[in-house]
Structure 1
Amino acid sequence: MPAFEYSALDASGRRSRGVLQADTARAARAQLRERGLNPLSVDEATSSPAAGGARSLRSSQRALLMRQLATLVASGLPIDESLAALAEGSEGRLRTQVMALRARVLEGSALAAAMAEYPGSFPALYRASVAAGEAAGKLDGILLRLADYAESRDALANRVLLALIYPLLLSTVAIAVVSGLMVWVVPQVIGVFSQFGQALPLPTRMLMALSALVQDYGLWMLIGVVAAVIAAALALRQPHLRARLDALSLRIPVWGRLARALDTARFARTLALLTGAAVPLLDALTISGQVVQNQLLRTSLAQAALRVREGQGLARALADSGQFPPVAVRLIASGERSGRLDAMLGEAAQHQERELDTALGIAMAALGPGVILLVGGLVLFVVLAILLPIFQINSLIR
């Protein structure tokens, strides 16, 4: 029984939206009229790629869905009843997605096949893991691991974001304050000094020239910056330019360490989840490579997958690429020898996350004071440029 998204008006004229299940759109409209609603639109929850992209779930919603579904499946409820129970307690986009999944399951699809119709909401990692869990009869455990995985990825992204918020906010405020001084305050203050006909100090003349430049060409400078950002974004869509930039970024002392640790942690945690779900290693490597952002590391993973296909061990293949941290490679090698690859991949992910936290701490310890010193230097320059003519005028009066 398919699911339909509807928009309707109640007796008081208020608009309501939701999802219901019916055999046809006409039957869905009939259900709405029985509830005292006047249907405005009734559309089937489509599985087209466009719709999947527009209605895709956020990572936090996926984590919540996986954890709740795991609890219900572990209690012995069939998949369709578990999804129905989840839909009753959900709202908005999540409820729409759950009811669409239930409609596919009621039509006879497996849960992984139903997820495959919504690739925007359920990436290949989720589909492959759920398919392996269904085949092995361990769906509840796999769903719990997927929830843990999504939550750990969110936590990692949040740590990076929180570390960058302070310097970015400080830089934005500094640019706004200095721009305001240059456009409105400095011209009025300096204009007073120019009436005396005396030669102004060099800092004051520099400040006047900079203020005039901002006043006359500030808009064009802003347009140029925006155009440069757009041009850079378009250029980065070219694979060869993106690959060169990514290779260069890994050589930058602090940034390279951050980028390498972040992508290695993503790769190791994803591969640990897939191998723990009994997904074949080659398939797991292909899926894990998709979560890596750096093109050089992604290419190295693809080459490592080819070597594994030819019979080489995973650790040796990663070591030959020379792009992955030695500690992570040694942990993976230990997992291959002991037959506990998924567990050691998890250890490698945790180690890289600790490395990332350390690198973030070092970067923020240097960046925060650096931005403060830069802002302080700019303010000191403006103050000196204003005070020096005042001192000069006082000496002339004496």
Structure 2
Amino acid sequence: MARFQFKGFDESGGKRSGDVEAEDIQLAVTQLEKDGLLVTSIKPRKSAGFGFSNGPTLADIEYFTSELSVLLESGLRVDKGLGILLKHMDNERLKPVIKQITARLKSGVQLSEALAEHPNVFDELYTSLVRVGEESGDLGGVFKRLANELKERKELRAVIQQALVYPAVILVVCIVSVLFVFNFVVPNLTNLFSDMQTLPWYTSALLGVSDWVQQYQIYVGLALAIIIVAATRYKHHATIKRISQYLRERLPLVKTLSLLSERARFSSALAVMLESGVAVDRAIGLAKNTISQQTLWQQVNSASEKLKRGESISGTLGSTALFSGYYRSLIVVGEESGEISRVFAEIADRSRGELNAWVKRLTTLLEPLLILTMGAIVGTVVVVMMLSINSITDVSL
């Protein structure tokens, strides 16, 4: 699906502008004309610089869902609630999408169908739950559960970002400190050794490293920048995804972080689906799409197929790497007691708790480790410089 910017007029002659998603520009025009718009200009929307998406974020969707759930639970109709949100909405990323959904509702389309036309914003799990709410007449309750699930997902993402960003900041400080030493401190001492015919091996090594850093640091920095930008811009490319999957499944620390987050997301989504009255096999089939690790996705998909053949939930999901022995026993208890949705909600809460504790341990460990590494490098440089100066002056340290 591509995104297009359009300008035009509605049936009353008022100016309209915004974004629309469609397979191509002709289908986009057709869709707008069905909504009663006279299109005067339309063009592909340019993506943000360096390939970063300028579409609605998870926080935007969580805010929209939460606000709409409050309006629906107060007794307002969907179209009225969306109208109120649009009137007071300043979010330019989400506003065009809500405008299009409102227009589709006015043309007689159901809310779930209108949401499904924006798969990059509202995933299949979201639209399926809304469809369940429409069928059951509990749309307000469904949006409330969705808002809670999205809030927990946002908090989970924040925890993961903390686990990655905080050590990265310390690492950057360490790298900057080392670069400062090799670019400014060591070169200032080079003149001391200019008259020496033979240098100690450690002095030669130090000066050689300093020369190499000064000569190639720009190229190394550019190469790293290109790799980061390319990985971000083409993150959905098959090769990039394979590399990402390989690292997430095999690197010790990353593997633990990935497994905990995958379990929390899957269990939370599954609990919401079951609480909303979705059948177990259908709920697992939808919840599995929250899993990004390919091996785990395949295992859960296989479990879903076995469940359709009549096998137990504990026997199918319990055989996957997603759940350890303790969580398998919880699933057995939930299945036997008929409280399976409550059990998966408990698993999600416990997994988030484990993830929080793991992140705190990781950051507590990495901070002194990185500082010690920086201290060891800088200290080694200082010792080598003192030994080199001592070899020139023959003064005992």
TM interval, short-chain normalised? 0.7 to 0.9
2:342 is the alignment partner of 1:343 = yes
2:27 is the alignment partner of 1:25 = no
Alignment of 1:3-152 (within 5 A): 25=9, 27=11, 30-32=13-15, 42-43=16-17, 45-48=19-22, 56-91=55-90, 92-152=92-152
Q: Greater CA deviation, 69-78 or 145-154?
A: 69-78
The separation in 2 between residues aligned to 1:184 and 1:296, in whole angstroms, is 48
The C-alpha deviation readout for 1:140-199, integer Å capped at 9, x for no partner, is 11101111111111111112222333321111121122123323432232x222134264
The separation in 2 between residues aligned to 1:326 and 1:219, in whole angstroms, is 50
Does structure 2 conserve the Cα–Cα contact (< 8 Å) formed by 1:70 and 1:140?
yes
TM-score by length of 1: 0.82
Please state how far the C-alpha of 1:89 moved relative to its aligned partner: 1.0
Q: Unaligned regions of 5+ residues in structure 1, if any?
A: 8-23, 33-41
Question: Which residue is 1:352 aligned to?
Answer: 351
Alignment of 1:253-272 (within 5 A): 254-272=253-271
Please state how far the C-alpha of 1:87 moved relative to its aligned partner: 0.8
Give the 3 Å change call, closer, same or farther, for CA 233–204 of structure 1 in structure 2: farther
2:239 to 234, 237, 242: 237
Q: How many residues are matched?
A: 365
Give the 3 Å change call, closer, same or farther, for CA 318–173 of structure 1 in structure 2: same
Please state how far the C-alpha of 1:132 moved relative to its aligned partner: 0.4
SS of 2:318's equivalent in the other structure is helix
The separation in 2 between residues aligned to 1:101 and 1:283, in whole angstroms, is 26
Alignment of 1:306-317 (within 5 A): 306-317=305-316
- What amino acid sits opposite 1:179 in the alignment? L
Q: Greater CA deviation, 323-332 or 61-70?
A: 323-332
SS of 2:122's equivalent in the other structure is coil
- In percent, how many aligned pairs have the same letter? 24
Q: Unaligned regions of 5+ residues in structure 2, if any?
A: 25-43, 48-52
Give the 3 Å change call, closer, same or farther, for CA 233–219 of structure 1 in structure 2: farther
Does structure 1 conserve the Cα–Cα contact (< 8 Å) formed by 2:331 and 2:344?
yes
Give the 3 Å change call, closer, same or farther, for CA 376–241 of structure 1 in structure 2: closer
Does structure 1 conserve the Cα–Cα contact (< 8 Å) formed by 2:5 and 2:20?
no
The C-alpha deviation readout for 1:332-360, integer Å capped at 9, x for no partner, is 22222222211110000011111112222
Does structure 2 conserve the Cα–Cα contact (< 8 Å) formed by 1:49 and 1:120?
no
Question: Which residue is 2:211 aligned to?
Answer: 212
Question: Which residue is 1:168 aligned to?
Answer: 168
Question: Which residue is 2:31 aligned to?
Answer: none
- What amino acid sits opposite 2:265 in the alignment? R
Alignment of 1:189-338 (within 5 A): 189=189, 191-197=190-196, 199-225=198-224, 237=239, 244-249=246-251, 252=252, 254-338=253-337
Let me know the Cα RMSD of the aligned residues. 3.0
SS of 2:20's equivalent in the other structure is coil
Does structure 1 conserve the Cα–Cα contact (< 8 Å) formed by 2:235 and 2:241?
no
The separation in 2 between residues aligned to 1:179 and 1:25, in whole angstroms, is 58
Question: Which residue is 1:39 aligned to?
Answer: none
Give the 3 Å change call, closer, same or farther, for CA 243–378 of structure 1 in structure 2: closer
The separation in 2 between residues aligned to 1:269 and 1:336, in whole angstroms, is 17
Does structure 2 conserve the Cα–Cα contact (< 8 Å) formed by 1:204 and 1:386?
yes
SS of 1:321's equivalent in the other structure is coil
The C-alpha deviation readout for 1:269-326, integer Å capped at 9, x for no partner, is 0111111112222222222111112211111111111111111112211222344222
- What amino acid sits opposite 2:73 in the alignment? A
The separation in 1 between residues aligned to 2:261 and 2:379, in whole angstroms, is 38
Give the 3 Å change call, closer, same or farther, for CA 198–134 of structure 1 in structure 2: same
Does structure 1 conserve the Cα–Cα contact (< 8 Å) formed by 2:79 and 2:105?
yes
Does structure 1 conserve the Cα–Cα contact (< 8 Å) formed by 2:6 and 2:19?
no
The separation in 2 between residues aligned to 1:5 and 1:200, in whole angstroms, is 67
Please state how far the C-alpha of 1:222 moved relative to its aligned partner: 3.9
The separation in 1 between residues aligned to 2:129 and 2:315, in whole angstroms, is 26
Please state how far the C-alpha of 1:386 moved relative to its aligned partner: 2.1
- What amino acid sits opposite 1:25 in the alignment? F
Question: Which residue is 2:40 aligned to?
Answer: none
The C-alpha deviation readout for 1:232-265, integer Å capped at 9, x for no partner, is 979863776665544424xx2x433222111111
Does structure 2 conserve the Cα–Cα contact (< 8 Å) formed by 1:67 and 1:144?
yes
Question: Which residue is 1:36 aligned to?
Answer: none
The separation in 1 between residues aligned to 2:337 and 2:61, in whole angstroms, is 33
Does structure 2 conserve the Cα–Cα contact (< 8 Å) formed by 1:203 and 1:385?
yes
